[in-house]
């Protein structure tokens, strides 16, 4: 073999080697991207946040929150970013809440996570509320707890026929946080109090009718809606609203279907106007209808402490600003995660899945006003600050 031919072969080998290394790197990059818990991308005129844990229903982790917040702030200041879209990967869920199991497990491994998760989550919720750019949440699929926190405070929320909304925290010894004390008492009548205390699920167009979503779009059109939003050229808020309204107006799914709670709203407004959980329970018992007894059955299963915290949270939150509510909720979160019921609720619902939590106290009468006051006390220098 001549020297020239040898050099040519070596050159081809080195070229192949370089190509192989590049391909390997690309594979690793793709793997990293695929494995990322949250994707943050600039597309067209928008910043796009994709919650990327479909196997876990896109539940929020502290790591995800720590990526979303600074990027949200950057996009808010970027003159080339005109709107922000948040969505969930897969078709099952937008976001089923915070990664509560991981938070509960942190009690024995990393106590600081119990502070950091709630503090940083609530700071993100407030940043979404105060965001100067139009913020559009595509709340297709399961949208609960922490998922509500990263959507409901935005300017636009788009539901589909597959949307499922709930704030089920009383069932795990917690309370409807992420600003629940702000937005729930501001829903029609006493609907928010009912949703907070029972964890009742709203589905499809009902999520829009209740006021959780601002628009309703058929799921099969959601991709086209996103494309049309991304294609806008230097859009104003009005331009964005026009696109959303156009899609909303074209949606006919369940258009004439009455709100699932419509026939019960007068009674809900009456039952849940009471100032104590005990009185609400009495109202349901005295009514005796099948719907009232269904709600009573749910209330009797959840944490008595959570019920009393939640009612007071909403009553106080009805006249507070969102930052004031989130400060109150941070205080509540820290007392809850260091108490018994939260960890017992997580055990019963998410770990052992026996659905038989042993609450302490187990009876509403045993939860005193003095006990409640401890949950609402200032944390002094550890209070949440914006």
Write out the catalytic residue numbers.
98, 146, 169, 177
Instruction: Using only the alpha carbons of the chain, give its radius of gyration.
Output: 24
Residue 60 CB partners (closer than 8 Å, separation 6+): 51, 95, 97, 98, 99, 121, 146, 147, 150
Whole-angstrom distance, CA of residue 342 vs CA of residue 359: 9
Angle, vertex CA 124, rays to CA 88 and CA 318, nearest 5: 105
Element (H, E) at 159: strand 156-159
Whole-angstrom distance, CA of residue 148 vs CA of residue 151: 5
Query: Judging by DSSP bridges, how do beta strands 93-95 and 215-216 pair with one another?
Result: unpaired
Whole-angstrom distance, CA of residue 30 vs CA of residue 193: 45
| DSSP reduced 3-state for 267 | helix
Distance from first CA to last CA of the chain, Å, rounded? 74
Alpha-helix runs per DSSP H in the chain: 3-35, 62-77, 100-109, 111-130, 146-149, 180-183, 191-198, 205-209, 222-230, 237-250, 265-271, 277-287, 290-301, 304-317, 322-337, 341-346, 369-376
DSSP characters over 12-76? HHHHHHHHHHHHHHHHHHHHHHHH-SEEEEEETTEEEEEE--GGGTT-B-HHHHHHHHHHHHHHH
Whole-angstrom distance, CA of residue 306 vs CA of residue 255: 36
Please state at what angle helix 111-130 crosses helix 62-77, rounded to 10 degrees: 30
Whole-angstrom distance, CA of residue 52 vs CA of residue 54: 6
Whole-angstrom distance, CA of residue 247 vs CA of residue 224: 9
């Amino acid at each position: 073999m001549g020297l020239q031919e040898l050099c040519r072969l070596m050159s081809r080998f080195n070229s192949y080697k370089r190509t192989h290394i590049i391909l390997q790197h690309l594979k690793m990059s793709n793997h990293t991207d695929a494995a990322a818990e949250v994707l943050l991308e600039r597309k067209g005129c928008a910043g796009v946040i994709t919650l990327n844990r479909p196997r876990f229903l896109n539940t929020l982790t502290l790591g995800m929150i720590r990526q979303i917040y600074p990027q949200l702030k950057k996009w808010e200041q970027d003159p080339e970013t005109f709107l922000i879209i948040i969505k969930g990967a897969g078709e099952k869920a937008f976001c089923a809440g915070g990664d509560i199991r991981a938070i509960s497990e942190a009690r024995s491994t990393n106590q600081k996570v119990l502070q950091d998760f709630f503090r940083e989550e609530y700071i993100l919720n407030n940043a979404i509320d105060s965001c100067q750019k139009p913020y559009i949440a595509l709340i297709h699929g399961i949208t609960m707890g922490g998922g509500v926190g990263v959507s409901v405070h935005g300017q636009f929320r788009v539901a589909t026929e597959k949307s499922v909304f709930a704030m089920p925290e009383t069932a795990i010894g917690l309370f409807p946080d992420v600003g629940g004390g702000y937005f729930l008492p501001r829903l029609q009548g006493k609907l928010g109090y009912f949703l907070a205390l029972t964890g009742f699920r709203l589905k499809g167009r009902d999520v829009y009718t209740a006021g959780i979503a601002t628009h309703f779009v058929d799921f099969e059109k959601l991709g086209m809606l996103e494309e049309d939003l991304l294609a806008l050229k230097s859009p104003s808020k009005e331009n964005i609203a026009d696109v959303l309204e156009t899609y909303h107006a074209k949606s006919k799914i369940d258009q004439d279907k009455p709100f699932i709670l419509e026939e019960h709203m007068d009674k809900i407004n009456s039952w849940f106007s009471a100032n104590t959980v005990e009185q609400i329970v009495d109202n349901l018992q005295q009514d005796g209808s099948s719907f009232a007894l269904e709600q009573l059955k749910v209330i009797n299963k959840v944490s008595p402490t959570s019920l009393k915290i939640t009612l007071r949270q909403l009553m106080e939150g009805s006249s507070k600003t969102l930052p004031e509510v989130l400060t109150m909720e941070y205080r509540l979160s820290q007392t809850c995660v260091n108490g018994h019921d939260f960890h017992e609720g997580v055990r019963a619902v998410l770990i052992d899945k026996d659905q038989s939590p042993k609450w302490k106290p187990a009876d509403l009468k045993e939860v005193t006003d003095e006990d409640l006051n401890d949950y609402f006390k200032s944390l002094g220098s550890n209070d949440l600050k914006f």
